[in-house]
Chain A
Amino acid sequence: MAIIERPSLAPAVIGDEVASPPALVTPTAAMGVFKRPVSTTGWKSWVFTVDHKKLGIMYGAVALFFFLVGGAEALLIRLQLAAPDNTVLSADLYNQMFTMHATTMVFLFVMPMAAAFANYFIPLQIGARDVAFPRINAVGFWLFLFGGLFLNSAWFLGGAADGGWFMYSPNSSPLFSPSHGIDFWLLGLQITGIASLVGAMNLIVTILNMRAPGMSLMRMPVFTWMQLVTQFLLLFAMPVITVALFLLGFQRNFGAAFFDVDKGADPLLWQHLFWIFGHPEVYIIILPSFGIISEVLPTFARKPLFGYKFVVFSGAAIGFIGWGVWAHHMFASGLGPVSVAVFSAATMLVAIPTGVKICNWTLTLWGGKLWFTTAMNFAIGVIVLFTIGGLSGVTHASAPADTQQTDTYHIVAHFHYVIVGGAVMGLFAGFYYWWPKMFGKMLSERMGKWNFWLMFFGVNLTFAPMHILGMQGQPRRMVVWPSKLTGEGFFNLGFWNKVATLGSFTIALGVLLFVINIIITTKKGAKAPLDPWDARTLEWLTASPPKEHNFDSIPTVHALDEFFHRKYEEVDTADGARLVKVKTGEEVLAIEEAAGDAHIHLPSPSYWPIVLALSFPVIAYGIIFNRMLSVVGAGILVIALFGWVLEPSVADDSDYDPPAEGSGPTKELASIG
């Protein structure tokens, strides 16, 4: 039996390796009068946790909250557009609404929800007990939460950002947007940006260094692979937007002139900076969901992913080519024909690896034994809806065609098919697939099916008409559309606007069912077995929910889909070899547990991540309202940094109440931490 130990003088043991004695000596006890927060239950165990699973759940819960906020914003937008010259929202409020809808959905829902799955499942999938830097993981979550709350607090402090999510200059300068909304926006995104950046570094180090013995890169689950590509994209993309936001922040708050035309600046500088970040961002949004459905489809088709290597390399190829296509957002910006031609061709190139993925997923279904769970439905839904989004994308990869389509509802249709039909539906596949593992309870499949079909029809009802609206001349971001431009016939543009509004409420109903499903499941859901789906990868080789240390013994990996191959073996029968389930998941786990490690050390919880994260919104409020507040925030930041640096990674025995008997303070560095 494995036990989690308090620190002792014995060397830490992880797997079969004995950690060498630490070369560095950290202070033996936490500084100051406070004891380390070591409790494993109660609210403190969440607020001060460094456990990747708890952080993953918190990421998910907060992202879901912001999903509902962004969804409510979307519904208000669709209500306003349901009728000509409508007056549900004023022009000012409408502009804030679509800016914040996009910002919330991209930065506060899809990205952190993907981070939630990354946090929870990457260590499990690669057979690790935590991420490489648990406290950095914690600070990432708190920065995301505080950044998101800070960003949204603008609603109550004079109005939210009103420049559209790509915040084109010079419309974003104080002359044209005099409220503080854009300051909240750019400072909030800086804060959540730090979260993304430290998260990316953490996960890259984790994936590259902490895989279980035998798990070569080409035996790594596709979800982890796609997350690895995503994290590299974040690592290189976030600095670009950080620079752009700094320039804008200095322009708005300190009189700098980076985008001031009168002083000789070129406003296209902002567009280039934004889209050099913004296009890889598209892949940051979509690749995690590609990863999720690449796990879900093989599991429920009962066969390996078709062309694993091609899927992995096409994911990496998308990651690379994604850097060379940003100017396709600027085909109408006046770049000149040579640039436009080059970026047009490069954009078409991206369609190739994306097409490869679609083919591979479909061929994974081919010849399988398909089990249509809710997760599987969502995954197949992604194939269908993402294909529509991808094909409409090809129609505006052609630059001349794009000059008709850009900034119209056709584009809105395209990216919502990609983001809602692709990324969000993929995340929902993840919810239904992994929920039993995360919470030990089965989400209701019955409600899940309703949830899926409502969302699937809802997405088509909402966004398919937008293709027509855009092609027939309705631009995006307009608070009103006049009836004189809607054309004639039953299928006039007014009709399609109403259908889109109806569709948006259908999606909302689907999401509402999901929330109800969560509540009912939490109260009285069926208890989940450890392997309800007969799954294939290592995260299922744990209890449901997993123990705090994930694995009693770190599994040794022999193949892609290791867990499947431990359950199934080829048995010779009269009519040839057939695959037979020789062990259940429980039996496989029992074998592992019997050989559990004797000593497992996990990093201890810490106060400092949340304190450090808290300093940033204080500094940011200071920049907007009173610089003295920034000084206070900087003070908190310095204290938190010192506290963090001087804190040992593992709590001293004196932190426990009562202190452990007999054992003195330790000079151990935990092997993980």
Chain B
Amino acid sequence: MEQSENMQSRSCGRRVAGRRYVALAVGVGVLLAGCAKNAPQDTFQPAGSNARKIDGLQRELFYISGVVGVIVFAFVGYAVWKFKDRGQEIPEQTHGNPKLEILLTILPAVILAVVAVPSIAAVFELDKKDNDCVINVTGQQWWWEYDYVQGSTCGGVEITKSIVTSSELVIPADVDVLLRITSRDVIHSYWIPRLNGKRDAVPGRLHTLRMQADQPGIYTGQCTEFCGLSHARMRQAAVALNKADFQTWVTNQTADYVAPEAGTLAATGEGTFQAQCSKCHQVNDLKTADGTPVLAAPDLYVVSGVAPNLTKLMTRTAFAGWTFDLISAECRDKLWNAPPDEFGALYLQGVTPECFDEANLRTWLRNAPAMKPMYADPAKLAATGGKTRGMPNLNLTENQIDELIAYLLERK
């Protein structure tokens, strides 16, 4: 019995050791081999000072953890190989070694102290709020709204008039801007991985987050606090422009409304927009035929009480919580991969007729909830008194959609 037991355990031991090495090799391989190249949301490719500070900390932690891990695995692997049952004596029944124990308690404490000090210093540094450029960021199901605070100076550009926009946060490059983040409904979290860590948007609270990008470019992000049905389709991006381009952008955003030329499809579209869309969506300075200002009242129709401002829709590259592209994949790739000195000019073109991805917008206008789930089921609106959470299906005709697209294409 004893004999066969030993034999059995001996052969097992060999198999265990062999496979353990394979397992270790696979594990190490997985860790070393495989990161995606140029992933747009890669935290290991910081593109600004705040993210770089975190990245430095993070790498230090990964290296230390890696080394500790390898030591532990080597130790376990060696013990497993060295002390497998080869028929040796029952070992002495020792109960430990207090000196070694104390050493092994102090050692991790020292390592952790080394890690803790820079971590805690970074907490306070990242929390500074000494910025001249302040942008209010408000989350709601399932998109972000930005409000550039009037009187802020962003990289030398003064914001003379509040700018309300959504999804794409445009900032001057190489300037630390301060985001003041809150929410209108549930908790969301604002995250642009290459520029900084995330910060929750909590209703009733105002949190701040610094953002700085070294170079012009587009940096994508995603809401990271689970916020209900379409959480996965609540995305955002930060766009950094050099100072001159940023000035151009601000000037354009605050420019006066230009009505479509009379007699065009777009002019018909303006009327359709007022009839169908203006209940929720604001277009600044839009007036009815008799000159009355058209004011959106989304608070009457939408749970969060707001809908994206569409005054300059076509200066952005995606819509509906930055989920669906307004530009074709080809133009998107060109923009995303543009070198920093060419990026600004390309971005400021907005959605050009050549780049416009009409299919996305058309499908959306036909039936928005079919593209992005928004509790459109009327049975689920009882709790909200009939208010919807996003855009309902407006049952537009194809003609109306044509008109609206023509009108919206000029909003840039």
Contact = CB atoms under 8 A, between A and B. Distances in A.
B57 A401 contact: yes
B225 A485 contact: no
B62 to A, nearest CB: 6
Given A267-B203, A351-B108, A387-B72, A176 B120 contact: no
B36 A489 contact: yes
Nearest to B382: A178
Contact of A492 (B31, B39, B95, B203): B39
Interface in A172-193: 174-179
Interface residues of B, number: 111
B13 A307 contact: no
B40 A487 contact: yes
B12 A449 contact: yes
B26 interface: yes
Contact of A371 (B9, B79, B202, B233): B9
A383 to B, nearest CB: 6
Given A171-B228, A473-B193, A362 B79 contact: yes
Given A266-B204, A301-B83, A398-B61, A404 B226 contact: no
Contacts of B44: 471-472
Contacts of B30: 460, 464-465
B402 interface: no
B200 interface: yes
Interface in A198-255: none
B112 A348 contact: yes
Contacts of B100: 363
Contact of A175 (B40, B76, B230, B384): B384
A493 B205 CA distance: 35
Contacts of B275: none
A340 B123 CA distance: 7
Contacts of B88: 369
Interface of A: 90-92, 95, 162-164, 168, 170-171, 174-179, 261, 265-268, 301-310, 332-334, 336-337, 340-341, 344-345, 348-349, 351-352, 355-356, 358-360, 362-363, 365-373, 377, 380, 383-384, 387-388, 391-392, 394-395, 397-408, 449, 453, 456-457, 460, 464-465, 467-468, 471-481, 484-489, 491-493, 495-496, 560-561, 564, 568, 578-579, 581
Given A371-B85, A491-B36, 10 more contacts: A391-B68, A392-B65, A404-B43, A464-B30, A479-B231, A485-B41, A491-B33, A495-B34, A579-B93, A581-B90
Closest 7 CB pairs of A and B: A473-B41, A403-B197, A487-B39, A487-B36, A307-B96, A478-B232, A491-B34
29 contacts: A171-B186, A175-B384, A178-B384, A307-B97, A332-B224, A334-B199, A348-B116, A359-B104, A365-B79, A366-B83, A367-B92, A369-B85, A370-B13, A370-B80, A372-B84, A383-B72, A394-B64, A398-B122, A400-B53, A400-B123, A404-B51, A406-B224, A407-B198, A465-B30, A471-B42, A473-B193, A478-B231, A484-B332, A487-B36
Interface of B: 5, 9, 12-13, 15-16, 19, 23, 26-27, 30-31, 33-44, 51, 53-54, 57-58, 61-62, 64-66, 68-69, 72-73, 75-76, 79-80, 83-85, 88-98, 100-101, 104-105, 108-109, 112, 115-116, 119-120, 122-124, 126-127, 141, 185-187, 189, 191, 193, 196-200, 202-205, 207, 220, 222-233, 303, 329, 332, 373, 375, 380, 382-384
